[in-house]
Every structure is written in structure tokens, then in C-alpha cells.
Amino acid sequence: MGGMVNFHFCAFHFYSMSFQITIQPSGHQFAAQADDTILNAALEAGFTLPYGCRNGACGACKGTVLEGTVDHGDAQPNALSLQEKAEGKALFCCAKPTSALTIECREVGLKGGIQAKILPCRVEKKVQLAPDVIAMYLKLPANERLQFMPGQYVEFLLKDGARRAFSLANAPFDDQMLELHLRLIPGGKFTEYVFNEMPEKAILRFEGPMGTFTLREESDKPIIFVAGGTGFAPIKGILEHMFHHNIQREVVLYWGALARQDLYMNDLPEQWAAQHANFRYIPVLSEPKPEDDWTGRTGFVHQAVLDDGFDLKDYQVYCCGAPAMVEAAHRDFTANGLPEGEFFSDAFTFAPKK
């Protein structure tokens, strides 16, 4: 019996171990429990490291462990290769400290960061935008507002403990309702429920805001936005924020989709282009249908950017969509002169975001 008590004490003692973590180049320091991820501990301490999916799939939180050791957790091989591990890279959203650490990564100045909170919401309306895309509008309780940065996301808390993440498509100034764009994922438990079974005025719970895919307002560099499919949603929020605040940076949006119907809000960026001299819009279809009568650009959306011959060293790129598109864009843009620190991404992974 005494042995049992001892064992419990030892296990508890290990899990309550705390390690000092130093971020370079800022020199900021915080403590992390052995059973907590580096990202989570940093966010708790008020330091915002870049992140996206929080489940080891997108690579947005990748950094370098300069000193010390980590447990890599659920890092997925497409986001962190064996060679990168050997070079000291880690995904801070799933890596846990096994010693004191010095890590190297960028920090994001999100105006002091906005603390995520759990809120109930009512589904006010659903609007069909394409055969497999709907806009879902959420109403918060009368005394609540969600404070968020344009481009951030929320996570729905499902009854079985699973979570599903969706980007906010509206800008913070327009927060009467929260707007999300959902693509129907065949076999996807949550999206099939929303499309086919969800009653009117359904009540859901979410946690948010999350993510660091948001405008770096301290820069005045021109911006290339690259959206794939419903990756348009957070970019729409960022652009509406920029127009509302009269931010005059030169902006071009490339929106890639399979066929014409998949550019599910095409009129909106066309309207922006007519209204704002600093904004250009280039839609790109990878598989236009004969009936689309498409005379515009075709092929991969990130390739269209490369074909247009930008001197990428002078730009920021904000890229959102499927992981394969985001990875290809990151690889090819940085190989063509885009500074590593000027590529901001949100990869839409279908694995549950923890």
C-alpha cells in the first residue's frame, strides 16, 4: 500500500516539474510544465509565437531548439521531417520540454494578444454560396462580443470532446455576427451535420479567437494574398479590415479554385478592385469546366504569382488554403527571394485541432 502512495507521489512530482524556456532573439523567458506544450506555455505567459493548426500538421509554429531537449509529440512527418528534427527543428504546438530550453523563433506582436474564451452562440442563418460551401453566421449572447484580430479562427467544441476549427471571415469592426465559410467535407462529421441536419437557430459552443494569421500592421510592404478555396475566408476579414481603416499598402489577391462555381464570392473582390486603387484581384482556376467559358488564368494559384514576376524580396505574402498549396507556396516563394520572415500562412488541416 505504501508503495502505491509513493508511486503516485513520484508521478505527480514528475508532471509538476517546470522548465525554464528562453526565446531568442528576444530574450523573453517563461516556465513550462513537463506535460505542457511549448506553444501553450508561451501563450499562457503572454508571448505569442506563430501558430496555425495546433495539431502538428501545418508547420506554422516551427522553430529551432538551440539548447536542451524536447519530446516531439504528435508532429506529422509532412510538417517536420526527420532531417529537420536532426537539425534541431521542432513544432512548438506539440513539442514538450524534457529539460530547460533555449529556442529560436519569431514572436508576433498581437497588441498584447487577445485571451481566448469559451462562448455559446446561436446559428443565426446559413447562406449557400456554392454547392459545397455555406456561410454560417453566429450570434453571441446579448452581453458578449468576441474581441479578435482579422484572420483569426475559432474552434467549435463538439459533444464528444472533438474540436473543429474555422476562420472568421468578417473584420472586427463588423462584429454584429461572426461569419464563417464552411466547405462540406465528405464523411466530415461536423460539416455534414451543419449542411444536412443542424436545426435552425442551433446553439453551439466555441473557443476563440486563436491563430496568428493576421495583418502585420507595423510593416508598409506591399502584400500578395494567396487563397485556395475557402482559404478566402480569413483573407476576406483581413482585407475588409484594411479597407475600413484606409490602409494604403499595395495589395494583390490571387484566389485559386477548381472551377468557376468554387470562386463562391467572386463579385466581392471584383467590387473591391473597382473601389480601391491600391487593390488588384486575379482569380485562377485549376480545372475550369467547359461551361465555365473561362478566359482567365489557369493552373496552380501559387504558380500564377511566380509567373507574374514579382520581386518577392520586397513583399509580404499571406497564404491560406490546403496544406499542400501552402507548403508549395512557401517552398517556391522563399526559393525565389521572399524573406522567410515575410511568409504568413494558415493551412486548413482536416485533422481535429486540439
Q: pLDDT (tens digit, 9 = 90+) per residue, 63-97?
A: 999 999 999 998 988 889 999 999 999 999 999 99
Q: With 0.95 as the threshold, say if the pTM is over it.
A: no
Per-residue pLDDT at 14: 44
Q: Has domain 117-210 been given CATH number 1.25.40.80?
A: no
Do domains 117-210 and 223-347 share one topology? The answer is no
Query: With 60 as the cut, is the pLDDT of residue 304 above it?
Result: yes
Per-residue pLDDT at 4: 43
Q: Which three cell numbers stand for residue 8?
A: 503516485
Parallel, antiparallel or unpaired: strands 117-130 and 178-183: unpaired
Tell me how far apart the alpha carbons of residues 37 and 63 are, in angstroms, rounded to a whole number: 13
Residue type, 143: N
Computed over every residue of the chain, the mean pLDDT equals 90
Tell me what the mean pLDDT of segment 214-238 comes to.
96
- List, for residues 123-174, the tens digit of each pLDDT value: 999 999 999 999 999 999 987 888 899 999 999 999 999 999 999 999 998 8
DSSP E strand boundaries for the chain: 18-24, 29-33, 62-67, 70-71, 89-91, 96-97, 101-104, 117-130, 133-139, 153-157, 163-167, 178-183, 203-210, 223-228, 251-257, 279-285, 297-298, 316-321, 343-347
Domain boundaries, the chain: 2-104, 117-210, 223-347
Tell me what the mean pLDDT of segment 324-338 comes to.
95
Query: With 90 as the cut, is the pLDDT of residue 252 above it?
Result: yes
Residue type, 121: C
Q: Per-residue confidence at 16, pLDDT binned at 50, 70, 90? A: low
CB 169 within 8 A of CB 180: yes
What is the dihedral sign for C-alpha 272, 274, 275, 276?
positive
Tell me how far apart the alpha carbons of residues 9 and 26 are, in angstroms, rounded to a whole number: 37
Which CATH architecture is the domain 2-104 placed in? Roll (3.10)
- List, for residues 41-64, the tens digit of each pLDDT value: 988 887 878 877 778 887 888 999
DSSP symbol at 18? E
Q: How far is CA 44 from the centre of its chain?
A: 19
Q: Per-residue confidence at 113, pLDDT binned at 50, 70, 90? A: low
Per-residue pLDDT at 107: 80
Considering the four listed CATH numbers 3.60.15.10, 3.40.50.80, 3.90.1150.10, 3.40.50.620, the one that applies to the domain covering 223-347 is: 3.40.50.80
Q: Per-residue confidence at 6, pLDDT binned at 50, 70, 90? A: very low
Q: Which three cell numbers stand for residue 98?
A: 524534457
Tell me how far apart the alpha carbons of residues 128 and 135 are, in angstroms, rounded to a whole number: 6
Query: With 60 as the cut, is the pLDDT of residue 268 above it?
Result: yes
Per-residue pLDDT at 11: 42
**Adjacent-strand bridge partners of 153:** 167, 210
